[in-house]
Amino acid sequence: MDTKQRISDLETILSEYITQNTLAQRRFEAESKQFREEMLAFREAIQRDTQALKDEMRAFKDEMQDFKDEMQDFKDEMRAFKDEMNAFKDRVELNIKENNKQWGALANKLGTIVEDLIFPASRPVIESVFGVTLQHLSMRVVRRKENLREEFDVVAYSEKQIFLIEVKSSPRFDYLSDFVDRKINIFRQLFPEYASLTLVPIFASISVPDDFVQAATNRRVFVMAYREWEYMDILNAKELLSQF
């Protein structure tokens, strides 16, 4: 092969190489452009999604703040309601005490302390404090035996105990002495059928001072009266229950 032919072949090869290289470069540029466009689109999508997530998080945060504010308002309302209920309870308790005082004063004035206050409270107080079930409860019990006669304000008995209640509108020490030294003995004489039962003496009134309660305790007599004008109770049960 001569020199011209070789030169011609080299030019042909070089021309094809240049053509192929040009085409490859164009494809690379096109693919690079497409990749850049895809990456730009991906970046923009990520930015949109991130912004949307931020917006959702901000909206959620705002909703949580609103919920927190509503809960605080609810707590404030509940606190105010609780304060109102406590105030109402205090007013009710005060009214109960005042009503009990007025009722007690009226009962004393009318002389119906036994019927109106002591007798209705006797059963629940005795059964609660002494842990018994009363089988009988009577008011103003009168009994005569030969020349002996006496009236007892309230008499009640359970299976093993008999409760003798002396009721006075005003507690006085001489009333207590008369009850212990005379009336209990007369009761034993007039009611021999109860000799096998343990006699539980109770002195009852509307309100009883502390020194009277102490005196009754010393003589082993229970005292029933209003406790702080709230409810009828045995005021010295703790001191005497173990002795009966």
Q: Which residue has the higher pLDDT, 124 or 10?
A: 124
Are both 37 and 124 inside the same structural domain?
A: no
The CA distance from 173 to 101, in Å, is 22
Name the one residue in this structure whose structure tokens are 């205090």: 90
For the chain, how many structural domains are there in total? 2
Q: What is the mean pLDDT of residues 69-97?
A: 74
Q: Which residue has the higher pLDDT, 208 or 5?
A: 208
Whether residue 200 contacts residue 155, with contact meaning beta carbons closer than 8 Å, is answered with no
- What pLDDT sits at residue 175? 93
Q: What is the mean pLDDT of residues 111-117?
A: 66
Q: What share of the chain is helix, strand, coil (3-state, %, to 5)?
A: 65, 20, 15
The CA distance from 225 to 138, in Å, is 19
Cα-flanking dihedrals φ and ψ of residue 136, to 5°? -155, 145
Domain residue limits at 167 = 112-243
Asked if pLDDT for residue 88 goes beyond 80, the answer is no
Check which CATH number belongs to the domain holding 163 and give it: 3.40.1350
pLDDT band at 115 (very low <50, low <70, confident <90, very high): low
Are both 237 and 122 inside the same structural domain?
A: yes
Q: What is the mean pLDDT of residues 175-196?
A: 94
Mean pLDDT for all residues in the chain = 82
Neighbours of 215 (CB within 10 A): 17
Are both 157 and 212 inside the same structural domain?
A: yes
Are both 61 and 119 inside the same structural domain?
A: no
Percent of residues, the chain, with pLDDT higher than 70 = 79
Asked if pLDDT for residue 109 goes beyond 70, the answer is no
Are both 103 and 128 inside the same structural domain?
A: no
Asked if pLDDT for residue 196 goes beyond 80, the answer is yes
Nearest to 97 by CA among 13, 200, 173, 207: 207
Domain boundary among 42, 75, 110: 110
Q: What is the pTM of this model?
A: 0.57
Are both 157 and 98 inside the same structural domain?
A: no
Q: What is the mean pLDDT of residues 19-32?
A: 71
Are both 169 and 131 inside the same structural domain?
A: yes
pLDDT band at 110 (very low <50, low <70, confident <90, very high): very low
Q: Which residue has the higher pLDDT, 136 or 5?
A: 136
| 154 SS3 class | strand
Asked if pLDDT for residue 230 goes beyond 80, the answer is no
Are both 45 and 120 inside the same structural domain?
A: no
Q: Which residue has the higher pLDDT, 171 or 115?
A: 171
Are both 116 and 236 inside the same structural domain?
A: yes
